Amino acid sequence: VNGELAFGAQVFLDALYRGRLASMLPLVLDTEQRFPEARVWTAGRAVALTESGDLAGADAALSELFIDGSPTLPQDSMWMVAMALAAESNARVGNAERARAIAASLEPFAGRWVLGGLGGAVLGPIDHFRSLALRTAGDVPSATKLLDQTIVTLRSVGARTFLARALHERARQRSLVDDAGSINDEAQATALAARLGLVLDRR
């Protein structure tokens, strides 16, 4: 079972990064139904629904993971992955209250990387997802400051997939405050994504 879930997580992330996750929604739903104790797949459903354009469905899925604004996910080996996916989906949904809860929950883990299980799922620096949450909550300066630090780290370790995503997100954040640097960030992100076969979201 653990091997199946780990492989499923890798397939899920590859589909997300390559823009094919919407087509995998039936598989995500099936996995969630077969492994209801693995709540991370509810967060995965939320991301798959956002990729499918069903923001209302994604919001409903996220609501299953939060009660009165607080996350209800079990503190297991996939907690950080689930919270990162929640941040990813919620950034598309745009729920500011939920974003603040996500940012606060992730803050104690600043500087770490998102790893799931036995390392079967690697989503990059947790500060990328903290930045998504802060931007969604309306604190763009703090969000961009986090991404500045994250991008330096990603360049230093050569993590190009995560670097492309971080540059793309910083371009969005800079555009919100009319920072001309957004154009250069987006150009770098687009060029890197093209070399790696990635599809960056267009939200």
Question: Residue-wise pLDDT tens for the chain (203 aa)?
Answer: 467 777 888 899 999 999 999 999 999 999 999 999 989 999 999 999 999 999 999 999 999 999 888 899 988 889 999 999 999 999 999 999 999 999 999 999 999 999 986 667 899 999 999 999 999 999 999 999 999 999 999 999 999 999 999 999 999 999 999 999 999 999 999 999 999 999 998 65
Rounded to whole angstroms, how far apart are CA atoms 66 and 105?
12
pLDDT digits (tens, 9 = 90+) for 91-140: 999 999 999 999 999 999 999 999 986 667 899 999 999 999 999 999 99
Alpha helices of the chain — where are they, by DSSP H?
Answer: 2-17, 25-34, 40-51, 55-63, 79-93, 96-106, 126-137, 140-157, 160-176, 181-196
Q: What is the pLDDT of residue 2?
A: 67
Rounded to whole angstroms, how far apart are CA atoms 175 and 55?
23
For residue 58, give both structure tokens: 């994604």
Measured in degrees and rounded to the nearest 5, phi and psi for residue 66 equal: -135, 135
Q: What is the pLDDT of residue 202?
A: 61
For residue 9, give both structure tokens: 């997580």
Contact by Cβ (8 Å): 27, 48: no
- Which candidate, 175, 197, 178, places its Cα nearest to that of 186? 175
- Which candidate, 25, 31, 101, places its Cα nearest to that of 63? 101
Q: What is the pLDDT of residue 129?
A: 98
